[in-house]
Structure 1
Amino acid sequence: MPPRMTQRPANAAVGVALIDGIPLVREGLSALVHRTPGLRWVGAAETPSIGLRMCAKLRPDVVVLDAGLDPRGQLGRMMSDTYGIVLMVDETHVSNQYITNAISGGVRGIIRRAAQPGQLVQAIQSVHTEGQYVDATLIANLDTPVVRPRRPNSPGPPLSQREHEVLRLIADGLENQAIANVLFVSVETVRTHVKSILRKLASRDRTHAVAVAFRSGVLTIDDESVPRSRTGEEWT
């Protein structure tokens, strides 16, 4: 089954979001989605951090992600826990190992950045309805299975009030020393809280913990805390 946060009616439009640093690409996909029946434009972000907040707030069904913004593949693997990811890759700059790792990590869609618009629409629809889409020209020499079992998304024990404060400061971009200064505690105490947060949220690292927290409702975003452009479609 394709990864979806909530069950939608069978005839509901597929919500599409984009994380891409090039304005022309963001404008182009927005226009493509708007004119394609069955698709619904959710929004676009130019950086991964903004994209994570946007997706946590608006809950798209499918997220199109520029592989150039995710050189180590961490963002795609992390977001695949919640969303159907269509990874756009430049085959002249991305290695076979990168594609293999992305597929192994749960990314459901792989498409060339130079693909035709119709192909991208097909990839979005296939990832949503069938749980997979892989550009044959990219995986012709790969042995990795396209579909892999998904990891369960169930946070562990609840965070303490102080752990929640630390997590919120991590989400705001603060490092351990800055967090210690804000909370008037030692850096070692902050490290202890961070370790506990990672364990309770079953997270690989701080970034993953923030993403899990937003998806599960441990952290929430007020409308005023995430500014949007006047169009309401690009997040900045």
Structure 2
Amino acid sequence: MPVSTQQPPSRVTGTIGVALIDGTPLVREGLSSLVNRTTGLRFLGSAEAANVGLRLCQRLRPDVVLVDAALDPRGQLAHLLSSAGATRVVLLIDDARRTNQYLAAALAAGVAGVIRRSAQPAELLRAIQSVHTEGRYLDPALAPALAAPSPRAQPQPRQALSKREHQVLQLIADGLENQAIADVLYVSVETVRTHVKSILRKLSSRDRTHAVAVAFRSGVLVVDEPVPGSRPAHD
């Protein structure tokens, strides 16, 4: 069955609405049971394919949606789901995708959390609750992969980012586009574009996603770093 929803779809006040996009029937059935027997959570529905899952989430507006990374190899689905800002995306990662490049790209696409598909139920519940209340969760077992430098990468001296450039880079890593970054930092879109160009140059990056990956590998960004506030900063 391609899509499954709990009826009625309206949510009980104070509960966290959860949805799942995963191609494995046993995973869909298991998560539904786990969530519905957990106080404060409610399972809203599931889908086995990315396009069906996107429509499901647009209709039900879950607080948290878990996505099988195999169904979103380039982060496009995660970006679409998180772009509205109301839904937090947690990627279920298998061993084939436990690389620093994939994890950094996932965070750049707007993913709020990543967790192993083999994680224990208690860990999965912790991830759901953490991304809902804190906006981010990283499976402790995946943190070393994200922090580890690429074996082929040779450390090169780089110009330090300004305080404002660092803020812009953090917001890029959280999946924000230029207009949203401008709104958060109270600057013009053109100013954001200028900062982005400077970031790419200083980090020797070909695009925004690559810049985030380089920043995580080199320690310019760290996983638990707080998201910048909206107070003006000097360049």
Identify the residue that residue 74 of structure 1 maps to in structure 2. Answer: 76
Q: Is the 8 A contact 1:77 1:105 kept in 2?
A: yes
Consecutive unaligned residues of structure 1, counting only runs of 5 or more, are: 1-8, 154-236
Q: Deviations along 1:136-191, whole A, 9 cap, x unmatched? A: 221224259696263467xxxxxxxxxxxxxxxxxxxxxxxxxxxxxxxxxxxxxx
Aligned to 1:148, which of 174, 185, 193? 174
TM alignment of 1:1-236, pairs within 5 A = 12-82=14-84, 83-143=87-147, 148=174, 150-151=176-177
> Matched residue of 2:90: which SS?
strand
TM-score, length of structure 1 as denominator length: 0.56
Structure 2, unaligned stretches of length 5 or more? 1-10, 148-168, 181-235
TM-score (norm: length of structure 2): 0.57
Aligned to 2:6: none
- Provide runs of 4+ in structure 1 moved above 2 Å: 91-96, 141-153
User: Once the 2 structures are TM-superposed, how far is the Cα of residue 116 of structure 1 from its aligned partner?
Assistant: 0.3
Distance in 2 of aligned mates of 1:123 and 1:145: 21
Identity in percent: 52
Q: Does the CA-based 8 Å contact 2:98-2:145 persist in structure 1?
A: no
**Residues 59 and 98 of structure 1: is their aligned pair in 2 closer, same or farther, counting only changes over 3 Å?**
same
Query: Are the aligned partners of 2:20 and 2:65 in contact in 1 as well (CA < 8 Å)?
Result: yes
Q: Could you tell me how far apart the structure 2 residues matched to 1:22 and 1:47 are?
A: 10
CA contact (8 A) 1:104 1:145 kept: no
Aligned CA-pair RMSD? 2.5
Q: Is the 8 A contact 1:17 1:42 kept in 2?
A: yes
- Alignment size in residue pairs: 145
